[in-house]
Chains A and B, each alone.
Chain A
Amino acid sequence: MATSDETRIQELTRAKDDYKEVYGFSDREDYSFKSQKGLNTRVVDQISHMKEEPEWMRQFRQRSLQIFEKKQMPTWGGDLSTLNFDDIYYYVKPSDRSNEGSWDDVPEYIKRTFDKLGIPAAEQKFLGGVGAQYESEVVYHSLQEKWAKQGVIFLDPSEAMKQYPDLFKQYFGTVIPPADNKFAALNSAAWSGGSFVYVPPGVHVEVPLQAYFRINAKNMGQFERTLIIADEGSYVHYVEGCTAPVYSSDSLHSAVVELIAKKGARLRYTTIQNWSKNVYNLVTKRAMAYEGATVEWVDGNLGSKLTMKYPAVYMMEPGAKGEVLSIAFAGDGQHQDAGGKMVHCAPHTQSQIISKSISKGTGRTSYRGLVKVEKGAKDVKSHVRCDALLLDPESKSDTFPYMENEEDRVSIGHEATVSKIGDEQLFYLMSRGVPEGEAMTMIVRGFIEPLVKELPMEYAVELNRLIELEMTGACG
């Protein structure tokens, strides 16, 4: 391993011994604007006004609000009974100056936060571009000149709406319409921040673009909106990370992520979600893959109180491929309801969902997945595999695989395993002198290894480190 790699790993792993210490700190709230609690037409107009949006967007938000109010709460998945929509701040603007292109212009206290989280350091070392969102607004966004010159766009979506109004309007809300589900409607009404990425035909962005999301305030709702368009034959890897302080009252994170992979494009979206255990994480993620395009979701869920998230790929044209690699870790009191959704709308399409979940203490993981083959989608291949590992007698895991198939010439495979940490494995490792706790961690890391090795090294190290934290129970 090259020395620079070692140094990078070392920096990533240094001193991250406690969630509270590393991520769980909070800043004093000193904001330029904070909406009243709850969401109504007035708050929605206020958000749109403050963002100086065009009329069509204001109307889109108001329409979405109506849909949100009409839609029932989902009765499946996790327990949403304690989620109180009226007790949430929907828009918090940390500073009058936002969306800065230089770290120097970011307000000092926010800069300190992201410094602590290692964002600017990471940008210099291995990223092609960085976005950093604090509460509702993106406070920093940058893209290496190399990519900007090739026509790559990486912006806060509000900024993209101003600079590229036609391109933005052409795709916004086309993959996930507001009426899709209650939380998509909520996001469509209250959205703020996120990323807009456009990669021109044939451009390969070889280094990842990263966005980092941070909730600071109590009872905060973060509703970022991400739209990525990979034009014909292009390649891009987008990575998001998220953390929040440890509070006793709950916060809500409800993002909408829309991906479009045009003919022959490859788009990879990696999430390392590490919210504190008071955050509801209810996210809608969906991709459209056109002829011969490939979309891969790599989804790591470690934090939050409840996560409900099922990244989807709609394979719209022949030769499209969809893949979900999902890792979920549920510690005491956490519920990770995660999985994936593959919709085959065209012939000769292929999909794969691989899910690995770990439940510790009273933690609960659920795999929930759908493979759907539309009429006319012949010669389709799909493979679903979910493995669950239970660490304690009170740990829980369920599997909810759904299949809807309207064609004959399809091959759909499904395998599921549930295992407890094997006494024989544990004894074997210990019989070589490895203490019990580390032997456990080793087995868990081995369990997720097939997915972790898909990640860029920095994130693999980070994920392994987070798993270690969870295993030692030091998380807040």
Chain B
Amino acid sequence: MATLEIKDLHVSVEGKEIIKGVSIEVNKNEVHALMGPNGSGKSTLSFALAGHPKYTVTRGSATFKGEDLLTMPPDERARAGLFLAFQYPAAVPGVTVGNFLRTAVNAKRAGGAPVKALTGKDAEIAGKNGSQISAREFLKVLKENMKNLGLKEDFAFRYLNDGFSGGEKKRVEILQMAVLKPEIAILDETDSGLDIDAMKTVSDGVNRMVGPAMGALVITHYQRLLNYIRPQVVHVMMDGRIVTSGGPDFALELEAKGYDWIRQKYGVASSAAA
């Protein structure tokens, strides 16, 4: 049984079918790349797996560590160990990165029971019995990870994604992944809007985590990210289906030849779903 197991998944958005039967298995220690032209349904797949309420699964199944993923609300999926790095993360003014992430860490520890913002003695006790991370311990973890990702310490006190540059948003997504330690991470076009240095930093962040504890599904348009994050498998998605898959070098072939030959070979209409 794979950690993330998707079988014949169909997904609709506002009544329109976007994903038309996708099957994928991702395990820890694996990197899968999901490539494909614009509008082929890659982001839809990632939102559906994370549980966005606008995306309706009409057929098929998705299990995570053997549990039915599709019946879980988004927060439960996250606490189970699934992570989505957003292409366009929302800004939440007034909520600091540090405060938010500490709440998220404690929510995971509490297993979804309401997390009170504990302070003083209560927090100390909760820290000792392991039910909540102490402020000091958390700050240490956070700072270490911020340093790895080239983020200045003041990011802990900045409002989440509020006024962040494109590159900063992506780094903060990876920061969240590093702190929350998921078992499967879906990275939705994490490379878009990054210069080459930033891409290297972010890729290092991902590579540090891929291993016995985590596997990744990397969604990208371009081969260049895959120079830094080496996948074992490359899937090509078109019109809501995975039409073909290949080894690590398949990405290079796609980069050189484009997608048209695949359309012809597998008989996919060129006017792919929007």
Contacts and interface: CB of A to CB of B under 8 A. Distances in A.
Contact of B176 (A432, A437, A438): A432
B107 interface: yes
Which bucket holds chain B's interface residue count? 35 or more
A468 to B, nearest CB: 8
A425 B93 CA distance: 10
A163 interface: no
B90 A449 contact: no
Which bucket holds chain A's interface residue count? 20 to 34
A20 interface: no
B112 A445 contact: no
A7 B120 CA distance: 6
B7 to A, nearest CB: 23
Contact of B107 (A6, A9, A434, A449): A434
A6 B94 contact: no
A432 B104 contact: yes
A439 B176 CA distance: 16
A289 B133 CA distance: 48
A418 to B, nearest CB: 15
B158 to A, nearest CB: 12
A306 to B, nearest CB: 28
A445 B100 CA distance: 12
Contacts of A438: 103, 107, 114-115
Interface hub of A1, A432, A436 (most chain B Cβ within 10 A): A432
A167 B153 CA distance: 54
B103 A10 contact: no
Nearest to B85: A431
A457 to B, nearest CB: 11
Contact of B78 (A430, A436, A447): A430
Contact of B95 (A1, A422, A427, A446): A446
B23 interface: no
B150 interface: no
A449 B158 CA distance: 12
Interface in A6-64: 6-7, 9-10, 13
Given A10-B120, A435-B112, A422 B90 contact: yes
A434 B90 contact: no
A104 interface: no
Interface in A411-450: 422-425, 427-439, 442-443, 445-450
Contacts of B123: 6
Contacts of B74: 427, 430-431
B92 A433 contact: no
Contact of B104 (A6, A433, A446, A448): A433
B8 interface: no
B112 A429 contact: no
Contacts of B32: none
A38 to B, nearest CB: 47
Contacts of A10: 119-122
B273 to A, nearest CB: 22
B170 interface: no
B90 A424 contact: yes
Interface hub of A422, A427, A443 (most chain B Cβ within 10 A): A427
B92 A434 contact: no
Contacts of A3: 120
B168 interface: no
Nearest to A7: B120
A275 B143 CA distance: 43
11 contacts: A423-B54, A430-B73, A432-B101, A433-B79, A433-B180, A435-B112, A442-B103, A443-B92, A446-B92, A446-B95, A446-B159
Interface of A: 1, 3, 6-7, 9-10, 13, 422-425, 427-439, 442-443, 445-450
Interface of B: 50-54, 73-75, 77-79, 84, 86, 89-95, 100-101, 103-104, 107-108, 112, 114-115, 119-123, 135, 159, 176, 180
- Pick the 5 closest A-B CB pairs, nearest first: A446-B94, A449-B94, A10-B120, A433-B78, A6-B120
Given A430-B75, A443-B92, A446-B92, 14 more contacts: A10-B119, A10-B122, A423-B53, A427-B52, A429-B92, A430-B73, A431-B50, A431-B51, A431-B86, A433-B112, A434-B107, A435-B75, A438-B114, A448-B94
